[in-house]
């Protein structure tokens, strides 16, 4: 994957996360700026997603831990645990929002 392909895929992923949060029916604030997306929950905790362009990865920091995702066509996979991105993010958001939330790209 070259840098242009990575940037396109990573930007699409971050935009899809914003749209999924908007549509999830739970009050979660989000702010995206220059490859950094911050999700803020009612309890004050945050999940931060950011592009790591030199590594061609997406990093996700939650209240509990951090994970690095690399693109393995056709999905983003956690380099540590092997979890698929959307499954991981749904579990992390559910835990921090203290309610069951299922997120997916449309």
| Tens-digit pLDDT string for the chain (106 aa) | 999 999 999 999 999 999 999 999 899 999 999 999 999 999 999 999 999 999 999 999 999 899 999 999 999 999 988 999 999 999 999 999 999 999 998 7
Is 102 a member of any domain? no
Per the listing, tokens 């931060």 go with: 48
The tally of domains found in the chain comes to 1
Contact 102, 90 (CB under 8 A): yes
Contact 72, 58 (CB under 8 A): no
Q: What single DSSP character describes residue 76?
A: E
pTM for the model: 0.91
Which CATH number fits the domain that encloses residue 34? 3.30.920.10
Domain boundaries, position 7: 3-97
Is 106 a member of any domain? no
């Amino acid at each position: 994957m070259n840098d242009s392909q990575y940037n396109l895929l990573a930007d699409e992923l971050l935009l899809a996360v914003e749209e999924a949060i908007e549509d999830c029916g739970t009050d979660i604030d989000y702010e995206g700026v220059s490859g950094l997306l911050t999700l803020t929950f009612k309890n004050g905790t945050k999940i931060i997603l950011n592009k790591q362009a030199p590594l061609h990865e997406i990093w996700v920091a939650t209240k509990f831990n951090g994970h690095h995702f690399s693109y393995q066509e056709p999905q983003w996979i956690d380099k540590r645990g092997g979890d698929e991105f959307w499954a991981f993010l749904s579990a992390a958001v559910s835990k921090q929002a203290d309610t069951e939330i299922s997120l997916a790209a449309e």
